[in-house]
Amino acid sequence: MRLRVLGCAGGSAPGALLSCYLVDEVLAVDAGALTTALDFTAQRRVQDVLLTHGHLDHVWTLPLFLANRFGGPPVPCRIHGSSYTLETVRSHLFNDRIWPDFTEAVRESVPLVQFLPLDPGDTRPILDFEITSIPLVHAVPSQAYLVRRGRRSLMICGDTYATDPMWNAANAADDLAAVLVECSFPSRYDGLAKASLHLTPRLLALELKKLKRDVPVLVTHIKPEDHHEVVAELTALHDPRVRVLRQAEVLDV
Ligand SMILES: [Zn+2]
Ligand SMILES: [Zn+2]
């Protein structure tokens, strides 16, 4: 699988794009940078979008992305997420107030947008992938996705605090190639991380004890303001699996 990091910042700042990953050009995970990182041609190649949760930094380009597909030949898009997340974006983004409700849009008898629930514990074939959703611990329901194609799988984490199911699922995946995990704040903000249900390097170190696999752990969702401090703390963990994800990088996993 080819993973393109469209955005991996945990906050908005000049040049820092928000959480958004593209697998094999056709499957997106989160929508923090679909329209800010991809040109129109690349946007139209995306067929399915998995949402980890409904927080704005993970969904904000979705309405604009769908609007961009209305010109030219119809290109349907399927949006997957937990029932809670889909209800959130339908009620609070596509509500005919913030943005038009595209859910009824049909072109040449093709529905342009479909919202398909993928709840924690569900496994479903999507395109050539097998996708499993795993519950996380966050201020709103959030989930990780185990994305498998052929005999390779990739764990892509949404926002989370300390959790067990994701690490259990990672340990159980014999074909696991890498884990993407969030680490939002420096460790001096452990209290804020606990209150907002995110991770810091100190908390992540405890999480990594649960991972029994020798695979790359790609850290994402670092707050831009504290990026250098978080990276220094992650380096000081001396865990050879840990590496900070970089915006716009492409990884073959
Ligand atoms: Zn969040
Ligand atoms: Zn976030």
Per-residue pLDDT of the chain (253 residues; tens, 9 = 90+): 999 999 999 999 999 999 999 999 999 999 999 999 999 999 999 999 999 999 999 999 999 999 998 877 878 899 999 999 999 999 999 999 999 998 778 877 778 899 999 999 999 999 999 999 999 999 999 999 999 999 999 999 999 999 999 999 999 999 999 999 999 999 999 999 999 999 999 999 999 999 999 999 999 999 999 999 999 999 999 999 999 999 999 999 9
C-alpha 140/C-alpha 242 separation (Å) is 27
Answer yes or no: are the C-beta atoms of 244 and 234 closer than 8 Å.
yes
pTM: 0.97
Q: Which two tokens stand for residue 231?
A: 């990276």
Distance from the CA of 130 to the center of ligand 1, in angstroms? 24
Domain 2-252 fold is Metallo-beta-lactamase; Chain A (3.60.15)
CA 12 to centroid of ligand 1, rounded, Å: 13
Q: Where in the chain are the domains?
A: 2-252
Q: Which two tokens stand for residue 213?
A: 């696999």
Helix H or strand E encompassing 206: helix 201-208
CA of 151 to the centre of ligand 1 (A): 30
Please report the pLDDT score of residue 166 as a whole number.
Answer: 98
Alpha carbons 157 and 222: distance in angstroms, whole number: 13
Contact 27, 127 (CB under 8 A): yes
